[in-house]
Structure 1
Amino acid sequence: MKFKKHIMIASVVIAGALTFGVLSTSAIDPFTSTTDDIKKELEENKGIEKKALVMVGETPITTIDLANYKSYKKVDNVKSSDEELLKELVIEELFLQLAKEKNVYATFEQGMAEAKKNRQILESQSQQVQDVQQKFIELTGLTEEQYWTDLAPKEYQKLISMQNLVKKLVEVGELKQSEDPNEFGKELREYKEKLFKAQLNKKVKVLDSSFTF
């Protein structure tokens, strides 16, 4: 399910932008057409042989994970290499495992509460906003109820865990707090890069030699 988080985040951001007037009606046309392309690719990805590319601790990141993540990333309209995308998946898993190690991993109940809150917000919005959200739900292959009671809570649980970890890192001085979001974003990216390099060939085991990092 790790690759589905990206599409969930995108759906919330786009729906939120529509709600507050940040996006116009015409601006969402590329998003809706892109979802059709993604849906087609996801079907094709089912024929890919599943094998582990990287182990992060005991968690494998597979060819299917990478292919689906690559498909979902079309929403960003930014081209990245397979190695860059795989690295993103590895860093995300490292971050989640670090959250567990530092005892700041959120509970499923917290994820459920966040999902419920966002569902209520979306249901109170215009039909246009709800239609955009529905498009993204369809990409997951789940019913609306399954999405909000299973996938969304688990993914919000991960998001909250990562937020908790960032707060913890600031508290203990491993990350420098900055009022400038761009500066803090740079600081966080550098921290993640150091985390990746520190764990490469240790907790992170590359199983496919075509990825050199």
Structure 2
Amino acid sequence: MKLSAAIAIGGSALAASQAAQAGREPFGIMALRPDSSLQFAKVGASQGYILINLRDDDAVCEIKPWDKVPSQATFYINDGVLYLYTNKEYSTDKTKVQRLFVDLSDAGQGRLGYHRLADIIPDYCEVNGWKVDKTGNLSFNGNELIACPVPNKGSWTIWAGNATATPGGNKGCLGFSARTIPSNKPVPCEYSLFPDRIPSHPWGRDGPS
């Protein structure tokens, strides 16, 4: 890594940590895992999944007709809960707010997803425990995240709250640092959900199509 890039990331980390701890300050997430295809990859959201190197952006965003949909998702933390940035006013409308959860069931094994607040999720889906440390890295209950490659798609699913190196029976999984990057001009988006999906059953390993 060039010195200038290292300095930039270091400065962003401090700003991100301070902003995130203040609450409701939007940020993007960049994966850090040297000597792997995860290094500097962006984190996105689609069909109820949180993924790295998401190929197809199907979010509906508040942008001008000629602008492209952002290539990465925007998040914020409030009281230890991680949300997707869906509106500038931080609406409490449960049909609009999208919240992340970690499926801690034996079947879910820490799979990371999101849902609308209006959709009830099982008790084994944990939503609280997110924090940004002083280096700007996002963690769940003090643990770093794990990424597993989606076969033949180039993207990676994300898992949390699980010590196993092969969650969901996946192969080639890697731990990574989820570096938060402050969003100076965040774009509100409504991220797609798989039709009628409520996390009450195991997900397949291949992620969204």
Q: TM-score, normalised by structure 1?
A: 0.27
More strand by share: 2
Structure exhibiting the larger radius of gyration computed from Cα positions: 1
More helix by share: 1
Q: TM-score, normalised by structure 2?
A: 0.27
